[in-house]
Amino acid sequence: MKKSVTIDLWETIIGEKDYSSFSVSRREKKCKYIYDYLRKIDNNTSLDRVINSHDFVVNQIAKFSRFHSDRLFIDWTKIFINKINPKLINQMQEKEIIHFGDILDEAFLEDPPDIFDGTYELLEFCKLRNIRLGIISNTGFNSPKAYRKFMSKNKIFYDVMSLSNELETAKPHSKMFWNTINNLETIPKNSIHFGDNPVADILGATNIGMDAVLISKNNKKSPINSNHLAVIDTIKDAIDILLDWI
């Protein structure tokens, strides 16, 4: 059976240049776009209200993630709208709610994360060796559609992508990893996962029998046990690991 590689997204192959987990400009753009849209239908909406509601949803997503859970993106969008104005959600049709999510996507795609050095080299390495590639990611407040557009636009090619706000569960839950492994038509012992989170990525992968490599980001992250295969600084070092692993 052929071997497969799976990778995390945020802070593994994409993110902010300084490795921070938060983009001020992206948050501001999302909230400004939503505010501009709502002003056309609700004159009582304030920008502060939109910002506070956005931050509430982001914090709720983080809380869900700690319990290995998530909701569908459209459900988080409804919670966002309801937090801004409880009366508004009852006045909106489903297509309007979807459009609301599209506005968030537009802001994300206009102010996207950086793609880290070494990402394309890893993708090319896997492609040349017919190694199937899976992406496993907890999503935050971004839609699956936005992720796929971002990946396509930036030529980040993959065979399978498992996103927490599609599966309504989050790493390190085994469902995230098994969904990817099964769709890659492989088995855990023939698969290796790269990620920056010692629990969500490394524990999640090793718990189902995968090999796992921690991205330490200048030694800012440390493994929680000895079950990992290796610790590397950035994704640029992944090929060295794979040359030995395959």
CATH number at residue 224: 3.40.50.1000
Instruction: Look at residues 105, 17, 9, 68 and name the one whose alpha carbon lies nearest to residue 207.
Output: 68
Same domain, 8 and 45: no
Last residue of a domain, one of 110, 128, 155: 110
Torsion region of 19: left, alpha or beta (phi above 0 gives left; psi -120 to 50 gives alpha): left
Whether the link from the prior residue into 113 is cis, omega within 30° of 0, is no
Same domain, 174 and 129: yes
Helices (H), the chain: 24-38, 47-66, 73-84, 86-89, 94-110, 119-128, 144-153, 164-167, 174-183, 204-206, 238-245
> Please, what's the b/e burial string for 7-36 (b: 16 or more CB within 10 A of its CB; e: otherwise)?
bbbbbbbbbbeeeeeebeebbebbbebbbe
pTM score of the predicted model: 0.94
Same domain, 134 and 226: yes
Same domain, 126 and 60: no
Same domain, 225 and 131: yes
Domain that holds residue 14: 4-18+115-245
Read off the amino acid at residue 171: K
Helix (H/G/I), strand (E/B), else coil: 28? helix
Last residue of a domain, one of 63, 90, 110: 110
Same domain, 74 and 181: no
Same domain, 126 and 233: yes
pLDDT in tens, the chain (246 residues): 789 999 999 999 999 988 777 899 999 999 999 999 999 888 889 999 999 999 999 999 999 999 999 999 999 999 999 999 999 988 899 999 999 999 999 999 999 999 999 999 999 999 999 999 999 999 999 999 999 999 999 999 999 999 999 999 999 999 999 999 999 999 999 999 999 999 999 999 999 999 999 999 877 888 988 999 999 999 999 999 999 999
Specify the residue for token string 């200048």: 218
Specify the residue for token string 């990778």: 7
Give me the number of domains the chain comprises: 2
Last residue of a domain, one of 110, 125, 142: 110
Same domain, 102 and 215: no
Same domain, 136 and 170: yes
Half-sphere CA count of 180, side-chain side, radius 13 A:
34
